[in-house]
Amino acid sequence: MKADAVSNGLRATAISASLFVATMVMPPIPASYAAPITLNEAIVEVSETSYPILKGLNEANFQAFSVKIGELLLNINPDKLGKSIELAMDVLDSAPSEKLDEFNIVLKETYNADLNIDSCTLVPLPPMSIVDRFVSIAVEKVDAGKLKTFQETWKPSLVALARSKTDSSICLPSTRASLDKLAMAQADLARSFGRSETKEFTSYLGPVLKASIKPGKALSLVKDAQTLAPNASQQAKKEFAAAGKKAETAAQLENARNKIAEQKAQQAANKAALVKN
């Protein structure tokens, strides 16, 4: 049962993984851009432009590419990989319950009874053969209590997806508007993740990836990535790549603003403490 829970949790995030690896298909983008947009606007633009990319993903090519990425990650020392998975679960489980409830409402609206595998556009998922190898690492290396918490926390989300996916694919939301709404809900949920948990995860994972995956191996995937969405037009790919760059810039600006706000709040708190004393 424990392995099933971890496997379902990993597969539930695979549509995001599909979108992530699809960005590697995109050609380079010029350095000049229009005026900065907000992160929310950028997220919607990424969602809008991702729709034809996701529709154009080739199942066989995507799954083969997923295996290659998985093999790279599985070359990481098992103890370090297990620790990385555990820290990732800590981040996912740190979302406040009310934020997770809000996300699940949108998820249920998106993957409703009208969206089923018999009639929807299917987006490929990483094959179970590679997912199961990560599951084995998690079951062996991750604390049993954390695995149970992860299962309980994300069970409602998994139930919402149950009738809209198979072992090899998941339904694409029926309209761009519904995909936009889901993308915003995901972003809002991600903003609620605990800062300490997120910092610990990124601080640990960064050096592990740098030490374990050589740049040459990562770059060798670029050529393969160009075959992921053969049916998507070059214009669609360019628009998606441009939207992704805007989102990256907007995220950096939002992070900078948040840091300044935190510094001002801390300064005000320190000043108030001095006055009180």
126, 66 contact by CB (below 8 A): yes
pTM (2 decimals)?
A: 0.74
Give pLDDT, residue 149. Answer: 92
Query: CA 68, 143, 136: angle at the middle one, nearest 5?
Result: 30
Tens-digit pLDDT profile for the chain (277 aa)? 455 555 555 554 444 444 444 444 444 433 344 445 676 676 777 777 777 888 888 888 888 889 988 998 999 999 999 999 999 999 999 999 999 999 999 999 999 878 888 889 999 988 999 999 999 999 999 999 999 999 999 999 989 988 898 888 999 998 888 988 998 898 899 889 999 999 999 999 999 988 887 777 766 777 777 778 877 788 877 777 777 777 777 677 777 777 787 778 778 778 777 777 6
Extents of the domains making up the chain: 2-24+32-276
Give pLDDT, residue 199. Answer: 92
Enumerate the H helices of the chain as residue ranges. 2-12, 14-22, 39-55, 59-74, 78-93, 97-110, 128-141, 144-161, 176-191, 195-212, 215-219, 221-225, 234-276
Which residues lie across from 171 on neighbouring strands?
122
